[in-house]
Amino acid sequence: MQRNRFMKAIGFKTSLPIDEADSFIEFDKEIPTAKGKDLLVKVEAISVNPVDYKIRKNSLKDKQQDTPKVIGWDAIGIVEAKGDDVALFKKGDRVFYAGDLTRDGVSSPENRTV
């Protein structure tokens, strides 16, 4: 059976007031592949903190992106795969982490590389 290579994610293309209908949008995103020092994590829970709030509110003011920006960098989940350079984690390990702001956030109940 071939695994679905896409997941649902939540993001935004412009910084709108939170009460606007399109302040967050749901979209399909390709499931990332764990490479190098990455872990592919099946996300169980996501935290939204003040940094996420400020980025959503201010990062795309007066701008429109073609690809949605995904926030929510703090999460917990189960390792599904690891890159070739990972030595301290294995598939099935439960992990928590604060992600890298230069990469996509975790606003998906599915997968994320960290």
| pLDDT reading at 38 higher than 60 | yes
Report domain 6-106's class. alpha beta
CB atoms within 10 A of CB 27: 15
Tens of pLDDT, residue by residue over 73-113, are 899 999 999 999 999 999 999 999 888 888 888 755 556 66
d(CA 13, CA 24): 8
Spell out the domain ranges in the chain: 6-106
One-letter-per-residue 3-state SS of 29-82: EECCCCCCCCEEEEEEEEECCHHHHHHHHHCCCCCCCCCCECCCCEEEEEEEEE
User: Is pLDDT larger for residue 52 or for residue 89?
Assistant: 89
What is the pTM assigned to this prediction? 0.81
